[in-house]
Amino acid sequence: MPNVLVHSNYGKSQVRLVKLVKHAERHEVRDLAVSVQLEGDYEAAHVAGDNAGVLPTDTMKNTVYVLAKLHDLDEPEDFARRLALHFLKTTAPASAARVEVVEHLWQRLPVAGWPHPTTFARDGAEKRTAMVRALRGGDTVVESGWRDLLVLKTAQSAFSGFQRDRYTTLRETEDRLFATTITAGWRYGAAVESGYASVRARMRQSLLEAFAEHDSRSVQHTLYAMCEAALERTPEVDEVRLSLPNKHHILADLSPFGFQNDNEIFVPTDEPFGLIEATVRRG
């Protein structure tokens, strides 16, 4: 019995581009990294080496540049959808196209107190993300997101009353540092009439404010509170997903030197790290 090609996908990853938009008085900058993946009927390519249905990934790269020239990049979701639908149209074997966009943000440099018209600084590690998966003759899923923002809570964070077994040595605490790098993704329940950027702004603000104000019993507890706050402020959104690595800050042991360490000196560590993830859907 011959073997079966159960699944395949292919495309181009990390197509980076910067678009400069020139107004009379000022410039704007868009900075994206785009990844494209196609799925579909690619058995001939795999089994027989027949490339007739294979659009080169180099062409995908060119297409990203051309469509970035022809259209505005104001909302990464729109650009991702445009690309996904383009590839379904031009590539017969593809039954699904998935496009991911990561947007790096630039802010104007202040000069003499005013934002400069043509000079920018990359605003930290925080990135916007968008993902569109389009099916031929079917649904298109849009997911927006946001990642790589490192945040820290120095109060209102406890972890106690947890399960203990024979290998448990962790002490209960009513007062610990809680640091995490937020990765968020959300899906829409209805047409987004206000624009994706409006949803994104409310989503960001509600997640961060909930993180700041929550009386946290655990990472899970705060994660859920963040999702609830976000769903309340973004009626356009149906489902929120958070991934919160616990960037542990361990108390330095100063007792050998005769000092107490009353939550004052911490050692931040990268490994190992807790990882807490959940998806919450609007009820």
Give residues 169-188 in contact with its own copies (rule: CB under 8 A): 169-170, 177
Q: CB under 8 Å to 46, separation ≥6 — which residues? A: 5, 8
- Identify whether 57 is a catalytic site residue: yes
Q: Is 3 in the site for its own copies (CB under 8 A)?
A: yes
Cα separation of 50 and 261, whole Å?
A: 68
Cα separation of 155 and 74, whole Å?
A: 38
- CA dihedral (216, 217, 223, 226) in degrees, to 10, reads -40
Nearer to its own copies, 167 or 193 (CB): 167
Q: Is 62 helix (H, G, I), strand (E, B) or coil?
A: helix
Cis before residue 272, ω within 30 degrees of 0?
Answer: yes
In whole angstroms, the minimum distance from the beta carbon of 1 to its own copies comes to 4
CA-CA distances (angstroms) from residue 193 to 188, 237, 269? 11, 12, 43
Name residues contacting its own copies, limited to 49-108 (CB under 8 A): 49-59, 61-63, 65-66, 68-69, 90-91, 106
- Residue tagged active-site, from 12, 61, 104, 127: 12
Q: Is 235 in the site for its own copies (CB under 8 A)?
A: no
- Residue tagged active-site, from 27, 57, 140, 221: 57
Stretch in the footprint of its own copies (CB under 8 A) among 77-85, 133-141, 192-200, 266-274? 266-274
Cα separation of 280 and 231, whole Å?
A: 9
Stretch in the footprint of its own copies (CB under 8 A) among 75-83, 133-141, 188-196, 272-280? 272-280
Element (H, E) at 205: helix 196-213
- Here the tokens at position 11 are 């495309």
In whole angstroms, the minimum distance from the beta carbon of 140 to its own copies comes to 21
- Residue tagged active-site, from 86, 104, 214, 248: 248
What is the contact mask toward its own copies in residues 126 to 165, using x (rule: CB under 8 A)? -----------------------xxxxxxxx--xxxxxxx
Cα separation of 202 and 210, whole Å?
A: 12
In whole angstroms, the minimum distance from the beta carbon of 54 to its own copies comes to 5
In whole angstroms, the minimum distance from the beta carbon of 45 to its own copies comes to 4
- Identify whether 248 is a catalytic site residue: yes
In whole angstroms, the minimum distance from the beta carbon of 190 to its own copies comes to 16
Stretch in the footprint of its own copies (CB under 8 A) among 1-9, 76-84, 134-142, 191-199? 1-9
- Here the tokens at position 178 are 């809680």
Q: Is 86 helix (H, G, I), strand (E, B) or coil?
A: helix
Which residues are identified as catalytic? 12, 57, 248
